[in-house]
Structure 1
Amino acid sequence: MRADATLLLLDKDAVEQLLTPDEVTQAVREAFVLHGRREGRVFPVVREKLATGGVFGIKSGDVPAQGLLGFKAAGFWPANREIGGEPHQATILLFDPATGRPQCVIDGNAITTVRTGAAGGLGLQLLARQDSTRLTVFGTGVQARSQLRFALRTLPRLACVEYVSVDRRADEGFESLFADQCDIRCARDADEAVSRSDVVITATPGAGPLFDAGALRPGTHLNCVGADTAGKRELPDGVLQRARLVVDDREQALQLGELQWARETPCVELGTLLLGERPFERAAGEITVFDMTGLALQDLTVARFIHERACAEAVGTRIGWAW
């Protein structure tokens, strides 16, 4: 038995210290390209409701050529808000594929937040009209904030942002984060806000349709984040039938995403577009949708660079882990 081996632990503070938006975007882009080339594998997703009221899931995969193997155990526990906690919980583990030894335990909340925002940014870069000036975001929580941050980085002409909060009331904390980057205000009527928008981002718990399909005007792009479990949705009937649909993974979107509600809708994976294998030219009046269910490879490529940087900079806590 080897007794000199260690396991690296990286908590939330350590991860946030090492994250940078540009590097996360680069890692997420790599994940989509690996997926498009089928050089990275995505294993079947576990996503189960619990008797406690939470939802627990596991996303896992590997990149054999890079010696990258791991999983993210994550879920959503809404009752955490009542005790002052974050409802989303996630932990990432990286393993040595040659031995099965755990290498690193990483707080997954910060990684999930930023890698999903970066994926949304890539979707906007490829699919949205680059002259877009008006955006509506549904939600004011952690993921809505991340999506809006990356949208403002990606679409430099965005000037007007409307947000739809759960109670239709203004959220001063949310507004203060973006007030110096755009004209931001609370939308009282979701349909009216959507009808004025070039870009719509849905980042809610996915409890049901958020607006009327008739509110969408030609040329709008939608990033849809909240449908990540069977039974969840944010889009009303009729939207996907009018749109060009892009997904992160077709099989996963059929199980968990908006695609589960319109299963015959033709779609293309984002990795294919990034590889240039299928040219994407947007007609001015087209409606486009990016159905984002979240790939294990996104978590793993980001976790890998966090692990490498933590080792190089001696960040984190090491504990003995004999084998």
Structure 2
Amino acid sequence: MPDNARLLLLDRDQAAALLRPDDVLAAVRESFLLHASGAGRIFPLVREALPAGVFGIKSGGVAEQDLLGMKAAGFWPGNRPLGADGHQATIILFDPATGRPQCLIDGNAVTTARTAAAGALGLLALARPDSETLCVFGTGVQGAAHVDYALRVMPGLKRVRYLTSDGRRDPQFEARFAQRCDIAPGADADAAVADSDIVITATPGRGPLFSAAAVRPGTHVNCVGSDTRGKRELPDGLLALARTWADDLAQARAIGELQWSPDTPAAELGALLARAAPARHGIAADAITIFDMTGIALQDLSVARMLHQRALANGTGTSIAWPW
């Protein structure tokens, strides 16, 4: 048996340094197309409550690309008082021919970037191209990443209003985007939604954030926080008023917003992206659109493969002996 095998380790800072927004967007777009074509597989989801948090495993692969891997991730709220991120993720890439691990990556930065990139692709496909105003619920890691990517791909966005769980201003969040848009807290959730072309919900998903009546015709909503049984961010009745897309329908109906209305007609975003049609092609101008985002393994693996290849090319990371 060979005894010279190596395992590459990429820690938090090394992985973050290798992430470039345009490349992440391209990798995540590819993952949607692989899923839509059937070339990429996602395996059954593990998502379980623990005494200290929630633990999950997302896995899958692309046989034609020799890609196989998994992400073990979840949420541990007790980390925050310790000064650490409540979200924790670790990605492992395997050699599909032998099952040997090839690369282990701290998955937090990958998860943040790939989720925001997926949201940006949803905006490009479903939001009105002339959108100027955005409302975001949540100013944490995900909220900030989604606003960053939204401003990158929607150059017409001029105004951002944000809502925090305690209603307080978030000066650090404002400072991050002050040079790129008019940013300020929303005085009221319903008023902020009613005044927005795009709404992004990036919260822990403890309950509806606004009323269905506040959503104007033509608004697009990216739903980020509902990724576990029992979580929700949208109000009753909104799904029935909207046209809905998901990254994976079965998963969205199990743990996303669609869990609250699983019979709602919906489609998958990958099929829409595969058509390469202009934004909102075939969608009425006054239609409310929703992207129910639960995140799929192919997004993590496509980005992780990019990082692995880039790290090998420039010598980033720690290579350790991993003999058979």
- Residue type matched to 1:55 in 2? V
- Give, in angstroms, the shift of residue 284 of structure 1: 1.4
Number of the residue aligned with 1:126: 125
Trace 1:1-323 onto structure 2 (pairs within 5 A): 1-52=1-52, 54-276=53-275, 280-323=281-324
3-state secondary structure, aligned to 1:205: coil
Instruction: Indicate conservation of the 8 Å contact 1:206/1:227, yes or no.
Output: yes
- Give, in angstroms, the shift of residue 79 of structure 1: 1.0
Instruction: Tell me how far apart the structure 1 counterparts of residues 302 and 18 of structure 2 sit (CA, whole Å).
Output: 14
3-state secondary structure, aligned to 1:230: coil
Runs of 4+ deviating beyond 6 Å: none
Instruction: Tell me how far apart the structure 2 counterparts of residues 68 and 297 of structure 1 sit (CA, whole Å).
Output: 9
3-state secondary structure, aligned to 1:294: coil
Instruction: Indicate conservation of the 8 Å contact 1:48/1:55, yes or no.
Output: yes
Instruction: Indicate conservation of the 8 Å contact 1:163/1:186, yes or no.
Output: yes
Instruction: Indicate conservation of the 8 Å contact 1:68/1:97, yes or no.
Output: yes
3-state secondary structure, aligned to 2:8: strand
Instruction: Tell me how far apart the structure 2 counterparts of residues 31 and 129 of structure 1 sit (CA, whole Å).
Output: 24
- Residue type matched to 1:85 in 2? A
Cα gap change, 1:126 to 1:229, in 2 (>3 Å): same
Instruction: Indicate conservation of the 8 Å contact 1:169/1:188, yes or no.
Output: no
Instruction: Tell me how far apart the structure 2 counterparts of residues 249 and 210 of structure 1 sit (CA, whole Å).
Output: 23
Instruction: Tell me how far apart the structure 2 counterparts of residues 230 and 116 of structure 1 sit (CA, whole Å).
Output: 19
Instruction: Tell me how far apart the structure 2 counterparts of residues 121 and 307 of structure 1 sit (CA, whole Å).
Output: 23
Per-residue CA deviations over 1:191-229 (Å, capped at 9, x if unaligned) read 110010100000001111000111111110000000000
Per-residue CA deviations over 1:207-262 (Å, capped at 9, x if unaligned) read 11000111111110000000000110000001100000010001000101000001
Q: Which runs of 5+ in 1 are unaligned?
A: none
TM-score calculated relative to the size of structure 2: 0.98
- Give, in angstroms, the shift of residue 280 of structure 1: 3.7
- Residue type matched to 2:97 in 1? A
Cα gap change, 1:277 to 1:170, in 2 (>3 Å): closer
TM-score calculated relative to the size of structure 1: 0.98
- Give, in angstroms, the shift of residue 123 of structure 1: 0.2
Instruction: Tell me how far apart the structure 1 counterparts of residues 59 and 263 of structure 2 sit (CA, whole Å).
Output: 27
Instruction: Tell me how far apart the structure 1 counterparts of residues 141 and 7 of structure 2 sit (CA, whole Å).
Output: 29
Instruction: Tell me how far apart the structure 1 counterparts of residues 274 and 84 of structure 2 sit (CA, whole Å).
Output: 40
- Give, in angstroms, the shift of residue 66 of structure 1: 0.5
- Give, in angstroms, the shift of residue 2 of structure 1: 2.7
Instruction: Tell me how far apart the structure 2 counterparts of residues 261 and 277 of structure 1 sit (CA, whole Å).
Output: 30
- Give, in angstroms, the shift of residue 4 of structure 1: 1.4
- Give, in angstroms, the shift of residue 263 of structure 1: 0.9
- Give, in angstroms, the shift of residue 3 of structure 1: 2.3
- Give, in angstroms, the shift of residue 154 of structure 1: 1.2
- Residue type matched to 2:37 in 1? R
Instruction: Indicate conservation of the 8 Å contact 1:273/1:280, yes or no.
Output: no
The Cα RMSD (Å) is 1.1
3-state secondary structure, aligned to 2:205: coil
- Give, in angstroms, the shift of residue 103 of structure 1: 0.2
Instruction: Tell me how far apart the structure 2 counterparts of residues 82 and 277 of structure 1 sit (CA, whole Å).
Output: 45
Q: How many residues align?
A: 322
Instruction: Indicate conservation of the 8 Å contact 1:92/1:108, yes or no.
Output: yes
Instruction: Tell me how far apart the structure 2 counterparts of residues 153 and 317 of structure 1 sit (CA, whole Å).
Output: 32
3-state secondary structure, aligned to 2:183: strand
- Residue type matched to 1:298 in 2? Q
- Give, in angstroms, the shift of residue 13 of structure 1: 1.0
Instruction: Indicate conservation of the 8 Å contact 1:143/1:203, yes or no.
Output: yes
Instruction: Tell me how far apart the structure 1 counterparts of residues 67 and 43 of structure 2 sit (CA, whole Å).
Output: 13
Instruction: Tell me how far apart the structure 2 counterparts of residues 26 and 197 of structure 1 sit (CA, whole Å).
Output: 27
Instruction: Tell me how far apart the structure 2 counterparts of residues 14 and 294 of structure 1 sit (CA, whole Å).
Output: 23
Q: Which runs of 5+ in 2 are unaligned?
A: none
- Residue type matched to 1:167 in 2? D
